[in-house]
Amino acid sequence: MNLKPLMLIPTLGLVCLLSACAGPVPKADPSEAWIGMQGQSSDNLMAERVDGKRVDDGRYFEVQPGKHDLEVTLIQGANGDLDQPECTGHVEYDQFKAGKQYHLVQSGSGSDVGAVLVNDHGKQVAESHLFSCI
């Protein structure tokens, strides 16, 4: 049995996921906080879950004001290689404010990777523990 065709399935799934995100980002809802993703140049940081519920678009989170747990996935060296590391992490913040914009920014690289949450003034307001990578 040749396993090469089976190896294409994860790659095609990633391509479909990324192509679905190729459209414009919707306008931010002023009654919610908006959180964008910012990976390093060759890495792809994607929104996965907020408070345990899957998000529709991996490019951002929109949350009600207050406390939330954000789960993200980082694909290092996002170039279609099946051996690229995939990492997951969480950032928790309890002071999200309506109408404000935040960014989750990748920090570190390799196995010492995490993320910091910065507010609309560029000030760090929260950070993750080290991500778990496989």
Taking the CA atoms of residue 25, residue 53, residue 18 and residue 5 in that order, the dihedral angle to the nearest 10 degrees is -170
Instruction: List, for residues 23-74, the tens digit of each pLDDT value.
Output: 787 888 999 999 999 988 788 899 999 999 999 999 999 999 999 999 999 9
pLDDT tens track for 94-134: 999 999 999 999 998 777 899 999 999 999 999 999 999 88
Q: What is the pTM assigned to this prediction?
A: 0.77
Per-residue pLDDT tens for 60-81? 999 999 999 999 999 887 666 5
The whole-number pLDDT of residue 39 equals: 83
In whole angstroms, what is the distance from residue 67 CA to residue 94 CA? 4
Residue with tokens 């789960």: 71
Q: How far apart are CA 134 and CA 118, in angstroms?
A: 26
Count how many Cα atoms sit within 13 Å of the Cα of residue 110 in the half-sphere of its side chain.
1
